[in-house]
Chains A and B, each alone.
Chain A
Amino acid sequence: MSDEAFVRALQRRAMPLRVELAPWDELVADGVEQVAASRAPLISRRVPVAALAFAAGAIATLGWAVLRDRPEEVSPEPAPLQVLAPAPPPVTEVAPARAPTPAPEQTPVVPPVKSELAEPELAKSELAEPELAKSELAGAGGLRAGRGEAEARGVAGGGAPASRRRASPHAMGVPTILRDVQRPRSPPSMRPCPSDSQPPTSRLRSSRSKVRCAPAAPSTESPPRQRWW
């Protein structure tokens, strides 16, 4: 079969494959309607999406600003601690000078073993701590009176705080020094009372450190935590 005859035969066989396109006028009308119908939802979809995105961005910005400003609002309570932070160096310098005098008086009263045993008791009686802190903050007279009472009562009553002071490395001089330093310097509202100024989560540690040793410990620990908030 020649090429021409072969082509004719194939054209005849392929005739059912031929399809007619829609008239141009109808196609244009449909196409314009489709374009109009496809663009309208697109615009109506874009507007709320943009509004939602803007609102979400504004809320996120406001939330971030509030969270960022929050620690500055909370910080006024720990701030006095930072102000008092320079105090420890003179305390440590002064401590050795005065430590020898009360040390021989207090060491024989309660042995160190008893003080270690008294630690858990004090931890259990955490609720009693604010009273002790108040008595200390009430002034040197109050503290002396408390100690006097403790000494008068012996180990059972006021012995626990006394033994705790002796158990710490600074036990000898710190209470005296605390009394001497805090009395003239800070009015009652400015005093670094850990039970009042610090959050409840760190109350145990801060109260212990305050009773045990100089207030240098809370002042050195607290600033990074405040900044993190």
Chain B
Amino acid sequence: MQAGIVEDLGELEDGERQASVGDLESVHAAIAGDRRAFGRLYTGYGPMVRGIVLASIGVVDVADVAQDGFLVALRRLPELREPARFGAWLASIARSRCVDALRRRRTIEPVDEEAWTSGDPPRADALTVLRAIRQLSPSYHETLAMRLVEGMSPVEIAAKTGMTRGSVRVNLHRGLAQLRGILEIEGGNDE
């Protein structure tokens, strides 16, 4: 099984290959019905899913939507055709859950992000950064949320999302440049 998994991983560097080998084993075990293996995936892919959800729906209900995405993934795991692309598959599920959450907010329960800050300056400052990130295009704000909020390295982002490292670098570079411009325009409170 190990040899097949390594062949599936293709052209990854050594560090990424080791991490992804562990993920791929866990994916195969989870497909076979191992709940603890899916728990390892939950821990490993949690920052990626949180970053996607945070960039999409904002700061309210991030944990709920992210956990809901994992539960949906657990139910649909037998439908996963390419275990090596588990990260991209999980990201698409998380995005669809975000769409559902946004639709629910528009129709049923609108949220107030100002209430989340509750007069706390660090939270208000964090909300300013998040709103600046969400003004960027979708391909940038997910990568930036993973990098800036969740603290993931570019290599880790590439390994988890299934994107190439070149794409991740480009997204981060361009996204940071746009973000700097937005934050400077918004009042120069960026040191």
- Residues on A lying within 8 angstroms of B by beta carbon are 1, 3, 6-7, 9-11, 13-22, 24-25, 27-28, 31, 34-35
A13-B122, A28-B35 provided; 18 other pairs, C-beta below 8 A? A1-B191, A3-B173, A7-B176, A14-B126, A14-B129, A15-B126, A17-B130, A17-B149, A18-B150, A19-B50, A21-B66, A24-B38, A24-B39, A24-B42, A25-B39, A28-B74, A35-B71, A35-B75
Residues of A within 8 A of B17 (CB): none
Is the pair B71, A27 in contact by a Cβ cutoff of 8 Å? yes
Cβ of B157 within 8 Å of any chain A Cβ, yes or no, is no
Shortest Cβ gap from B176 to chain A (Å)? 6
A10 to B133, CA, bound (A): 11
Can you spell out 26 A-B residue pairs with CB atoms less than 8 angstroms apart? A6-B176, A6-B180, A7-B147, A9-B190, A10-B148, A11-B148, A13-B125, A13-B126, A13-B129, A15-B122, A15-B126, A17-B130, A18-B50, A18-B149, A19-B50, A21-B46, A21-B67, A21-B70, A24-B43, A27-B42, A28-B35, A28-B39, A31-B71, A34-B71, A35-B71, A35-B75
Most buried by B among A14, A18, A20, A35: A14
Is the pair A16, B63 in contact by a Cβ cutoff of 8 Å? no
Is the pair A14, B149 in contact by a Cβ cutoff of 8 Å? yes
Residues of B within 8 A of A21 (CB): 42, 46, 50, 63, 66-67, 70
A22 to B66, CA, bound (A): 10
A16 to B42, CA, bound (A): 21
Cβ of B59 within 8 Å of any chain A Cβ, yes or no, is yes
Contact partner of A31 (CB less than 8 A), chosen from B74, B125, B151, is B74
